[in-house]
Chains A and B, each alone.
Chain A
Amino acid sequence: MNIKQYRQTRVLVTIFIGTIVSFAVTKNSYVMAVIGVLTGMLFLVLARSRTKITIDEREKTIREKAAQATYAIFAPTIAIGAFLLLIPSHSRLSVFAKGEFAYLESLGMVFAYLTLFLIAIYAISYHFLNKKYGGRDEE
């Protein structure tokens, strides 16, 4: 199976899953929906394993740049989000003193830890990749 046939199969399977799920929803049968989705996924996995998919260097470059852009946008966004969500809980405003918006603080904490986790993953993977590609000081 070549990539073109695989893409056509993928479209057909997606249509099949969509039809089964919408039919299952109208019949209120969750089991049918789950079976439909699982069958579709299984079929896609089988089709993919029989396809010769070329991932060339241009594709890798694109993935690298996309990952870089995602990190550059996502990390500051959630960091700023966390900061903004944590500010009200530490302010002396009467609205927040009642504890009505306590969930905002929790959300802020989740965002803050998510930011730290993201930065930690980046730092660790950078360290190992730097080592792998000869970024050591010694000769």
Chain B
Amino acid sequence: MRSEQKTLPRNKMKVYRAMHDLTQEQLADKIGVTRQTVIAIESNKYLPSLALAFKIARLFKVRVEDIFFNEGKEAKDED
């Protein structure tokens, strides 16, 4: 379980949510999920489906990979 959590792609959903001045509840309503799901995604405990990832990206008007990324890739990009 712990190793699975380590390999989950990370995300910047919290950052984008703050940029758009949305609460977890408001974001949850907009993407049609519960607030618990938003919390789980933000804390990297749950990986959303492709459909939900696209929905989130469309809401923030960015690409999916701008929000969701593999930690290794992100580290490489930052270098």
The residues of A with any CB-CB pair to B shorter than 8 Å are: 54, 56-59, 61
B5 within 8 Å of A (CB atoms): no
Contact-residue bracket for chain B: 10 to 19
Q: Tell me how many residue pairs across A and B have CB atoms closer than 8 Å.
A: 21
Give Cα distance in the complex from A61 to B49, angstroms.
Answer: 10
Distance in Å: Cβ of A71 to nearest Cβ of chain B: 19
Q: Is the interface of B mostly helix, strand, loop or mixed?
A: loop
B32 touches A54 (CB 8 A): yes
Q: How far is the CA of A71 from the CA of B37 in the complex (A)?
A: 25
CB distance from B50 to the nearest CB of A (A): 11
| A interface secondary structure, majority | helix
Determine the chain A residues whose CB is within 8 A of the CB of B37 once the complex forms: 56-59
Q: Are A58 and B36 within 8 A (Cβ)?
A: yes
3 A-B pairs closest in CB distance: A56-B33, A58-B37, A56-B37
User: Chain B's nearest CB lies how many Å from the CB of A113?
Assistant: 35
Complex Cα gap A58–B40 (Å): 9
B1-54 with Cβ < 8 A to chain A: 32-34, 36-37, 40, 46, 48-49, 52
Chain A residues lying within 8 Å of B49, measured Cβ to Cβ, are 57
